Amino acid sequence: MRILFIGDVVGKPGRKIVERAVPGLVREHGLDLVVANAENAAGGSGLTPSIYRELVRAGVDAITLGDHIYRRREIYSVLESETNIVKPANLPPESVGRNWALVTARNGERVAVFCLLGQLFMKPVNSPWQAADRVLGELPGDVRVRLVDFHAEATSDMQLMGRYLDGRVAAVLGTHTHVPTADECILPEGTAFQCDVGMTGPFESIIGRRIDRVLATTLTGLPTEFDVATKDVRLCGTIVDVDSATGRATTIRRLCVTESDLPRLQSPPAE
C-alpha cells in the first residue's frame, strides 16, 4: 500500500495547496492513505473544527499535530469526538485527544497513526521513547501498518527515534522544522525514515512567516505580528510504500508539489 505523509500545513496558503493538489496526487500516485500534520493550519498556529473538516474534505484521511496543538481551544471538541486525529502521545495523559488512531486505507487495510514530540530544544514533555512503547503495546496486533510522525527540533533526536522504532513501525517521519531533509531511507529492519518531510505552505518566508516581520523582531527585539507569508507555496511530503503483510516499508521518496504542478494535478483524469 502507498501512503503520502504531508508536512506541517501552514495557514491558508498551505490549506489551499492541499485542497488543490491532494485529489490529483491520490489519482496520479495511486495513494491508499493521506496523512497530514496540521498543527499550523489555522493562521499559522493551531487547528479549528472548520479547518479540520476542510482538510478531510480535501482527501486527508488522518491528522497529526505538534507543539501548537492547543493554540485554538475550539479544536478540543474535534480531538474528543473524531477518530482520525491524534495528539502527541507524550503529552500529559490529562490532555485532550487520543494517543493513536486507526484509519482504513483505500485498499481496505487498517493503518495505525500516532505522533510524538521531541524533547531537545522544545517545551518539556514526557518521554517520547516510553510513549512510543506504550502506544505500540496498545495497538491491536493485527494492525501491521503503523506510521509515526516525530515532531521534533533536533536531527539527532529524529535519527534516534528512527533507530529506536526500526522494525516496529512502517515509517518514522519527522515534522516541526518546516525544512525537508534529503536523508530519506529504509532502515535495516524495514522502517522508512526521514528527519523532516518539510512544510506545506509559503516557502518565501521564515518557516512560513513573513520575512520582514521575523527579521524586524529579531534585529530590534520589538514584537511584530508574524503573519503567514504568501509566495512560493509548496506541498512537501513523503510517499512510502509498505508491504501490508509485514508492515515493512519497501520504498520511500520525497514529494514537493509547487504551484506550477497544480494545472496538471487539477486537470480531469485521462480516459
Which CB, 105 or 152, lies closer to Fe ion?
A: 152
Smallest distance from the beta carbon of 153 to Fe ion, in angstroms? 8
Residue ranges in 103-142 that form contacts with Fe ion under rule CB under 5 A: none
| Number of residues counted as binding Fe ion (CB under 5 A) | 5
Q: How many CB atoms lie within 10 A of CB 55?
A: 25
Q: Closest approach of Cβ 91 to Fe ion, in Å?
A: 13
C-alpha span between 203 and 94 (Å, rounded): 36
Q: Has 68 been annotated as catalytic?
A: yes
| Catalytic residue (choose from 68, 151, 176, 178) | 68
Question: Toward Fe ion, which CB reaches closer, 14 or 162?
Answer: 14
Letter for the amino acid at 44? G
SS3 content of the chain, % helix, strand, coil (to 5): 30, 30, 45
State the distance between the two ends of the chain, measured CA to CA, in whole angstroms.
Answer: 24
Q: Going residue by residue from 17 to 56, which x/- string records binding to Fe ion, judged by CB under 5 A?
A: -----------------------x----------------
Closest to Fe ion by CB, 115 vs 240, is 115
Alpha carbon 207 to chain centroid, angstroms: 15
Residue 66 touches Fe ion, criterion: CB under 5 A: yes
If binding is defined by CB under 5 A, does position 67 make contact with Fe ion? yes
Cell numbers describing residue 77? 471538541
CB of 8 to Fe ion, least distance (A): 4
Report the residue from 15, 176, 209, 210 that binds Fe ion according to the rule CB under 5 A. Answer: 176
Interacting residue with Fe ion among 6, 7, 8, 237 (CB under 5 A): 8
CA 230 distance to own-chain centroid: 21
Q: Which residues bind Fe ion (CB under 5 A)?
A: 8, 40, 66-67, 176
Catalytic residues: 68
